[in-house]
Amino acid sequence: MWYHFRFSLDPGEENLIKAFILAGGKGAHLRPLALHIPKPIVPLANIPFLFFQIEQIKKAGITEIILGLSYQPRKITDIFGDGINYGVTMRYTYEDFPRGTAGALKAAENLIDDMTLVLNGDVLTDTDLREVIQFHQGQKADATIVTKRVMNPSGYGLVEAGPDGRVVRFVEKPPEDEVTGDTINAGIYVLERSVLDCVSREGPQSFEREVFPSMLAAGARIYSYTTRSYWQDIGSPQKYLEATFGIISGRMKLPSYPLKSCPPNRWEKRQVQIDAFSILDGGCIIKPGVVIENSVLGENCRIEEGVLIKDSVIWSGTRIRQNARIEQSIIGRQCHIGEGVRLRAGSVLGDKTSVTDYSVL
């Protein structure tokens, strides 16, 4: 049942590998941020998230990308279109209902070839994907799962492998007291087409919970490639903030987004303090006495006198009135934050939220 094809990633040779990005989830854990904008395109450092993945995929020499869509698909296709502006060929599959991670690939079976690079559309990484594919081919694996060692693995799927990297056990999202290891499924796979034989056409099916464990039980060759590179998912507001800090700190490089028109920001340099780490999109008005540290501001924000913004992300079109203090918080699009408001660590406000003067959250 398990068979193998080999493709070359050498420059100059025809490259038949395509990438499939799972971009159809509801992103419930990222609410309220992913309510009106699907998780795969939430702005990270003011760039639609999937663009980071597209750049990483291109680095591996892959230019044909399929997005598996289900939730708010138009918002995603409106940005990426046929992919030409991004230097890739972009195609889409639409699920009539959310088919789960494995069901989504099955729905794309007419578009994929013999081997596919599959990514969860919510992981930020600079892992060398070409190396992952070469590892997969070297092991003659049916499936290779990129894994990552993390400090706190609870809430993730654990992958246990032998010294040669061959997977021996999966433990899916164990509670804290049942965590048996620190190596998690990083949501990036190289899969042979034969994997689709294990996915039914009916109902939703998940790689993590169903397909990989049943392949393992049937004796398939599943390997783990443990990445030492930067890796962070954006599945919750806290993780989204972590990913933002990964970029601000330079651990993850900020790619240059092709379609940005940047109207100038307006402030008096000597009257504001904006550190070199912070990223401000265009069209912002920053009034005297404002301090911005380690933060990201989307376009057309208006920040009034004496405001402090620290370790936070403010999406576009938001107005923050005088002397407000925002720390370790995320504020959605077109919010109004009143005078003297205090947003303490962990505050997350959805689009168009209005916070009354002097509130403390």
Work out how close the CB of 95 gets to ligand GTP at its nearest, in angstroms, rounded to a whole number.
5
Work out how close the CB of 29 gets to ligand GTP at its nearest, in angstroms, rounded to a whole number.
3
Question: CA 226 to CA 240: how far, in whole Å?
Answer: 22
In the complex with ligand GTP, the residue whose CB is nearer, 130 or 173, is 173
Contact positions toward ligand GTP, by CB under 6 A?
22-30, 39-40, 68-70, 95, 98-101, 104, 120-122, 204, 235
Q: What are phi and psi of 183, to 5 degrees?
A: -110, 115
Work out how close the CB of 220 gets to ligand GTP at its nearest, in angstroms, rounded to a whole number.
21
Q: Please list, in sequence order, all residues whose beta carbon lies within 8 angstroms of the beta carbon of residue 204, skipping any fewer than 6 positions away.
A: 97, 98, 99, 100, 103
Which helix (H) or strand (E) is 116 found in, with range?
strand 115-120
Which helix (H) or strand (E) is 184 found in, with range?
strand 183-192
In the complex with ligand GTP, the residue whose CB is nearer, 112 or 355, is 112
Task: List the Cα angle 314/75/247 in 5-degree steps.
Answer: 40
Work out how close the CB of 108 gets to ligand GTP at its nearest, in angstroms, rounded to a whole number.
9
Work out how close the CB of 233 gets to ligand GTP at its nearest, in angstroms, rounded to a whole number.
8
Which helix (H) or strand (E) is 355 found in, with range?
strand 354-355
In the complex with ligand GTP, the residue whose CB is nearer, 189 or 267, is 189
Work out how close the CB of 271 gets to ligand GTP at its nearest, in angstroms, rounded to a whole number.
42
Question: Which tokens belong to 286?
Answer: 């920053």
In the complex with ligand GTP, the residue whose CB is nearer, 121 or 283, is 121
In the complex with ligand GTP, the residue whose CB is nearer, 263 or 346, is 346
CB count, 10 Å around CB of 330? 25
Work out how close the CB of 361 gets to ligand GTP at its nearest, in angstroms, rounded to a whole number.
23
Question: CA 192 to CA 212: how far, in whole Å?
Answer: 13
Question: CA 345 to CA 361: how far, in whole Å?
Answer: 9
Question: CA 244 to CA 52: how far, in whole Å?
Answer: 12
Beta strand residue intervals within 24-88, DSSP E = 43-44, 47-48, 64-69
Contact 59, 9 (CB under 8 A): no
In the complex with ligand GTP, the residue whose CB is nearer, 24 or 48, is 24
In the complex with ligand GTP, the residue whose CB is nearer, 98 or 289, is 98
Residue with tokens 């034969």: 194
In the complex with ligand GTP, the residue whose CB is nearer, 70 or 318, is 70
**Nearest to ligand GTP by Cβ — which residue?**
25
Work out how close the CB of 312 gets to ligand GTP at its nearest, in angstroms, rounded to a whole number.
22
